[in-house]
Amino acid sequence: MRNGRSKLAVLAAIPLLAAACSNGDGDSSEAGTNGGELSASLTGAGASFPDPLFQDWIYSYGEDVQPGVEINYQSVGSGAGIEQFLEQTVDFGSSEEYLGEEELAVAAENRGCEAIQFPVVFGSVVIALNNPDLDGLVLDAETIAGIYSTEITTFDDPAIAELNPDMDLPGDEIVPVHRSDSSGTTAVFTHYLSTEVESWADEYGEGKELDWAGGLVGGQQNDGVAQGINQNPGGLGYLNQSFAQEAGLAVASVVNADGNPIEPTLEATIAASDEADVPENFQFAIDGIGGEGYPIAGTNWIFTYTCGYENATADALIDFWTWALTDESAQEVAGDLGYAPLGPELTERVIAELERTNSENGGTQGGDADTETSDE
């Protein structure tokens, strides 16, 4: 309510300001000239996986694009993100899993209109290693599953040796490290293993938290996993690409569906996202990636509603995400942090979907024009 008011106040002030400026000296009319000054305060909550990127986006957007828009994104986890979104305590939600039919139904019932979802960014989960000599070690889904189910216990295991004929493998014990908190990173990683390795699916399955084999090391968040890898000779763990990149850890190449060992790079993640077949409703998973694509990749979705926002909030929401998806500097930041932007064709579709935000608001709250005139 407050935000809507202040936006209206600004809107009302702009013509006055413009008029004043046209009469007097026109220097102070910065706000009036770019025509699109927005003022709103948004809250979002959800996945921690894209948090560094979102924080950077929000910061740059507030600094350089729309200083009047305040965005508070809390990386509380996908589960909480979905819950907060469904409870309508936040303006947008974020998750590494798309909303299923059940959640969409709950959302529609709670809000009285449809919820929409769209992907905004892709990210890879990399296998990081303690031993820098092993940088570029080739692994495939079977060996990774073998390592995490403690069937493969040393680096010179025949299964690994077969994939790395040219590498001098040490006989060190492998110490697999996993996330101890429940996380989307774990979900992406175990989803990959479950789709590729049948025995893994039977024994462990997939999820944000898992009943891991005994003797593994758990770490709290990416940081805990990185410490687990660093502090154990023979440590091996899965991490967000951006984290491994920043921490400067050695990483393994992973064999994809076409049998190519792929190094986890930004290009490989982009290639993976190109492989994904995105349906109309944006409910998809990136599976069976071949070509040059890195196979362990996840998507981050954003959720909004088609009604019930203040106009200022909705405008800011659409403007922010459009900026994040299309602005060159925003996309550059994504690349720097190890996240892959959407391809051009997908971006177009996503923006079309994004613009449906608050589109059904006419009936419940009155259209744009109405509100503005009635408030004067």
Partner 1 sequence: MSTQAPEAPAPEEPRRGSLTSAKGRMADPIFKWAVTACGTIVLVILALMVIRTTSEAWPVFAKEGFFGFLTGQEWRSGDSRTEITGTYGAWPFIYGTLVTSAIAIVMALPLAIMVAFYITHLAPRRLAKPLSYTVELLAAVPSVIFGLWGLHWFLPNVLRPFFEVLENLLGWFFLFEGPIRGVGYMAAGIVLAIMILPIMTAIIREVIAVHPIEQRMAAYALGSTRWEVMRNIVLPAGFSGIVAAAMLGLGRALGETIAVLMLIGGSQSWSTSLFGTGSSMASHIAATFGEATPEARTGLMAIGVALFLVTMIINILARVIVRRLGRMTGDAAV
Partner 2 sequence: MSTMTSTPVRQHVPLSQRPPGSSFRRFKDLLATVVLTMAMILAMIPLVLIIFEVTRRGIGVVDLDFFTQTEPPPRREGGGYAAGFFGTLYIMALAISMSIPFGIATAVYIVEYGPNRMTSTIRFFTDVMTGIPSIFVGLFVYGLLVIGWGGLGFGTFVGAVAIAVMMLPIVTRSAEEMLRLVPDEMRNAGYGLGARKWQVIVHTVLPAAAPGLTTGSMLAIARGIGETAPLMMTAFGSGLIVTGFQGDPQGSVPLQLFKGAAQPFEAGIDRAWGAALCLFALVLIFTVVARWVGSKASTAD
Task: Give me the residues that bind partner 1 (CB under 8 A), please.
Answer: 48, 76-80, 83, 102-103, 106, 173, 175, 178, 180-184, 208-220, 224, 227-228, 230-232
Selected binder of partner 2 within 81, 119, 146, 224 (CB under 8 A): 224
From partner 2, partner 1, none, interface partner of 246 (C-beta below 5 to 8 A by class): partner 2
Closest CB to partner 1 among 32 and 184?
184
Q: Give Cα separations from 69 to 3, 166, 192, 273, 349 (angstroms).
A: 10, 55, 38, 31, 25
From partner 2, partner 1, none, interface partner of 136 (C-beta below 5 to 8 A by class): none
Identify the burial level of 267 via C-beta atoms within 10 angstroms of its C-beta, where 0-12 means exposed, 13-18 middle and 19 or more buried. middle
Identify the burial level of 317 via C-beta atoms within 10 angstroms of its C-beta, where 0-12 means exposed, 13-18 middle and 19 or more buried. buried
Residue-by-residue DSSP string for 122-183: EEEEEEEES-GGGTT-EE-HHHHHHHHTTS--BTT-HHHHHH-TTS----PBPEEEEESS--
Is residue 6 at the binding interface for partner 2, with CB under 8 A as the rule? no
Q: How far is 338 from 174, CA to CA, in rounded Å? A: 26
Give the shortest CB-84-to-partner 2 separation in angstroms.
8
Selected binder of partner 2 within 70, 114, 258, 287 (CB under 8 A): 70
Give the shortest CB-230-to-partner 1 separation in angstroms.
8
Q: How far is 213 from 148, CA to CA, in rounded Å? A: 7
Q: How far is 322 from 324, CA to CA, in rounded Å? A: 5
Binders of partner 2 in range 299-358 (CB under 8 A): 337
Give the shortest CB-48-to-partner 1 separation in angstroms.
8
Binders of partner 2 in range 24-53 (CB under 8 A): 43, 45, 52
Judged by CB under 8 A, which stretch of 25-33, 127-135, 216-224, 356-364 contacts partner 2?
216-224
Closest CB to partner 2 among 271 and 317?
317
Q: How far is 271 from 288, CA to CA, in rounded Å? A: 13
Give the shortest CB-197-to-partner 1 separation in angstroms.
19
